[in-house]
Structure 1
Amino acid sequence: MLGMRERPEGLIDDDLRRGLAAGWGVHGKLTYLPVGAGGYHWAVGGRWFVTVDTRGDAAGLERALSTATALRLPFVIAPVPAEDGTTVRALSPRHLLSVYPMVEGVAGDFGPHPPEQRDRVLDLLIALHRATPAVASTAPRTALRLPGRAGLEEALNGLARPWTSGPYGEAAHRVLAEHAERVRGWLAEFDDLARAARDPAGWVVTHGEPHPGNFLRTAEGLRLIDWDTVLLAPAERDLWMLTGAMFGSGPGDDAELLGRYERETGRRVSPELIGFYRLWWMLADIAIYADELRRPHTANEDRAASLTYLAGYF
C-alpha cells in the first residue's frame, strides 16, 4: 500500500483554495492529513474532507465517484457534488479534487478484518452487491488486466542493468532480482486464474478495497470510504479481503462465511477467483513499488516505505 506522508508535488494550498471556492463554494482553514493511501487528504474548516488524486484520469475518477453517489446506501460515504453536479474538479492535468463530508469515526488498519467484525462487513458487502441494478448501466467495468504489468515486465527483463536513479534503487533491484522467478510464476498463475472471471453476466458492483483501513467505525455503525476503486466485477474482488487469503497463504478456512454469502445472494463463490484477486493485489503493489524505485526519486518516508513493502511480499 502506498503511503501519503509527503504532500503531492506541484500543488500548493492556494491551488486547493481556488478549486474549492470555484467548484463547491467551500472556504476554510486547510489542514494536511498524512493518512490513507492512493490519495492526498486535507481537512477544511472542520466540515469537509478533501482528497486530491494524482493519477490524472478525470473521466475514470468521475465515473467511479458518481457511481458511489448513485448507490444511495447509508453506509457509503460518497463525495459531495460540486455546484455543476460533477464530483471531480481538475486543479491541473495531474491533480484531481473531490470533496466529502467530514465524518467522525475511527478507521482500522490495513490487514485482515477482526473476527468479530467479519459478519457485519459481509452484511455490507451483500447489500452493496445487491445494489448493482441501480448502477449497472453507468458504473465502470473491470478489464481483468493487471495495472502496471508492462512496467513490471520491463523491470524484470531489465534486471541486468543497475537501478541508480535514486537512493533506494539498488536495494529494490536486489529484492526483485532475488525473487524474479517467483514473480514470473505469479504472473503465469494470474493469467491461468483470470480465465475463471471471463463471464460478466454475474458481475456486481464492487468496492475493490474493503479492508479495515477503508471502514470507519462511527456511532451509527461501520461506514465504507474511498470509492475511487469501484468497478463492476466478480464478487470475489471484494470477498477475498474477508478470507484467509489476506494472510497471503491461500483461501483459508472460510466455508461458513462464504457459504452464508452464497445462501443469501444465490451466487457461487469461486476459490479460483479468491486466489486471482489475492494475486492481483500482490502483483499490482509490486509493480507500483518497482516502478517507483527504479525511476528517479528522492529519499523520503513514502519511498522508504515502498522499499519496505516491496521486500515484505517475499
Structure 2
Amino acid sequence: MRDRPDELEDTDLARVLDEGWQIGVVIMDYAPVGFGDHHWTATGEDGRRWFITVADLDHKTMLGPDPAAGLERALATALALAGRPGLEFVTAPVPAVDGRVTRPVGARYAISVFPWLEAEAGSFDRSRDEAERAAVIMLLARLHGVRPPAETPLQPIALTQRDVLAEVLAPRQARWPEAGPYTWRAQQLIMEHRTVLADRLAEFDAIAATLPTGADELVLTHGEPHPGNLLRGPDGLHLIDWDTVGLAVPERDLAGIGPTEADLDGYAAATGHPVDRRVIHGYHLRWDLEEIGLYAAEFRRPHRDGPDQETAWGGLAGSVSRLAGSDG
C-alpha cells in the first residue's frame, strides 16, 4: 500500500519487533509497495535487514471468521514448507521467539517478519515470457506434488464476498450512502453492467458446483502466483505472500499465471494431472467477482481520495471490464 496506516507509529512496530523477535531496530522505513498489506524495511542493531509486513485483518476475509488465526495458520504452513528439499523458492516468515510467525499490533493488525532478499521485485501486471512461464510451471508442479503440512487450510472456491455481490447486483436498490469520492462512481459502474455481471456469477456457480471438496482430492496451492508475488534473485525465483496458501485443485494456481496451451501441456506432462480449462476459467471468474465484491465493500465504507483508492478504482473498473467482455 502507498498510504501508511494512520493508527500505527514506527515506535509501535519497533516495540513488537523487539519483544517478539528480539530485533533491536535502529532504522525503520515505510515501503510503499504492493497492494493489500503494509510494508516496512527495518535494520537491527547488528546491521541485519528485515522486511516487515503488517496485515490489515479487517481486509483478510479469505482467512475465515478469525483472520488472525487464519493468517497464523497460513504463514505457519509456508514455514513448514520452506525446509523441504526442492521448495527453496518458498519465502517463509521468520518465527518469533515463542515459535509463532505473527504477532498482533493492536486489535486490527498483525505483523510478520521476513528475511531481506537481494532480488528484483515483481509487479502484478508485468508480462511473462515463455521461459519464465515454463519455470513457474515447474515450480508449481513441485509445490502441488508435496505432502501438505498438517496445518494447511482448505481454500474452497466459494466467494467470500457473495453477500456483498448479492446486494450490489440487486435489480432494485437505493443509492448507496455517500461514503467518499468513489461511492457513486462505483455504484454507477456496477449497475451499468449488472445484468452481465449476474450472468457471470451464475456461470461461476455452475463451474464451482463441479469441483471436488475432499482434502484427498486436492493439492497444496499458493493461490496467487502472479508476477507481483515472484522475486527474481541470483539463486532463482522466490515466491512470496503465502497468506493465500491452501488445499485446492491445481487449476487455482494455474489460472494465475496466464498459461498457454503449451504451458498446460507441460504441467500435465510433469504431474500427470489433466488440466481442466473450464476450471481455470472458473477461477478467472472468481478473481474478478471477488475483486468487485471487495472494492464495492471498500467504497461503501468511509474512504478518502488517494493513491490506494485510485488503485482500487482501477481494480474495480478492470474486473468489471473483463467480466463484461467474457464469453466463457
1 or 2 for the larger relative contact order (CA 8 Å, sep ≥6)?
Answer: 1
Tell me the equivalent position of 1:192: 206
**CA 1:190/1:87 → structure 2, altered by over 3 Å: closer, same or farther?**
same
2:162 to 149, 153, 167: 149
**Which runs of 5 or more residues in structure 1 are unaligned?**
245-253
Aligned equivalent of 1:310: 316
> Do the aligned partners of 2:156 and 2:213 also contact (CA within 8 Å) in 1?
no
- Structure 1 residue 222 and structure 2 residue 237: aligned? yes
CA distance in 2, matches of 1:269, 1:134: 20
Secondary structure of 2:210's match? helix
Cα distance in 1, alignment partners of residues 133 and 28 from structure 2? 35
Superposed displacement of residue 59, structure 1: 0.7
Aligned match for 1:74, one of 88, 102, 110: 88
> Any idea what the Cα deviations from partners look like across 1:63-120, whole Å, max 9, x if unmatched?
1001001112211110000000000101122110100001011122213433231111
User: Aligned letter for 2:39?
Assistant: H
Aligned partner of 2:122 in structure 1 is 108
- 1:253-310 deviations in whole A, cap 9, x for unaligned? x332212211221212111210111011111111111111122111111112211221
> Which runs of no fewer than 5 residues in structure 2 stay unpaired?
59-66, 322-328
Give the match for residue 99 of structure 2: 85
TM-score w.r.t. length of structure 1: 0.91
| Matched letter for residue 156 of structure 1 | L
- Provide the residue aligned with 1:160 in structure 2: 174
Q: Is the 8 A contact 2:138 2:270 kept in 1?
A: no
Asked whether the 8 Å contact 1:163–1:173 carries over to 2, the reply is no
* One-letter amino acid of the structure 2 residue matched with residue 30 of structure 1: M
Which amino acid in structure 2 is aligned with residue 63 of structure 1?
Answer: R
RMSD: 1.5
Report how far residue 230 of structure 1 moved: 0.4
Is the contact between residue 190 and residue 280 of structure 1 (CA under 8 Å) also seen in structure 2?
yes
After TM superposition, the structure 1 stretch with the greater mean CA deviation from structure 2, 184-193 or 104-113, is 104-113
% identical equivalent positions:
43
User: Is the 1:159–1:173 Cα contact (8 Å) retained in structure 2?
Assistant: no
| Residue in structure 2 matching 1:259, options 247, 256, 265 | 265
**SS of residue in 1 equivalent to 2:243:** coil
Which of the residues 282, 287, 297 maps onto 1:281?
Answer: 287
| 2:62 corresponds to 1:65 | no
SS of residue paired to 1:268: coil
1:140 pairs, out of 125, 141, 153, with 153
* Match in the other structure for 1:16: 13
Query: SS at 1:291's partner residue?
Result: helix
Matched to 1:154, the amino acid is E
1:163 Cα shift? 4.3
Q: 2: CA distance between counterparts of 1:204 and 1:113?
A: 25
Cα 1:305–1:92 shift into 2, 3 Å? same
1:45-74 deviations in Å (ceiling 9; x for gaps): 051000001115111001100100111221
Question: 2 CA distance for matches of 1:139 and 1:291?
Answer: 28
Describe the SS at the equivalent of 2:256: helix
Distance in 2 of aligned mates of 1:272 and 1:120 = 23
Q: Which residue of 2 aligns with 1:182?
A: 196
Aligned residues: 300
Could you give the per-residue CA deviations for residues 104-148 of structure 1, whole angstroms, max 9, x where no partner exists?
1112221343323111111111111112x141x320001321021
The TM-score normalised by the length of structure 2 is: 0.87
Aligned positions of 1:229-244 closer than 5 A: 229-243=244-258
Q: 2:135 & 2:68 partners in 1: Cα distance?
A: 33
Shift of 1:199: 4.2
The offset of 1:15, in angstroms, is 1.3
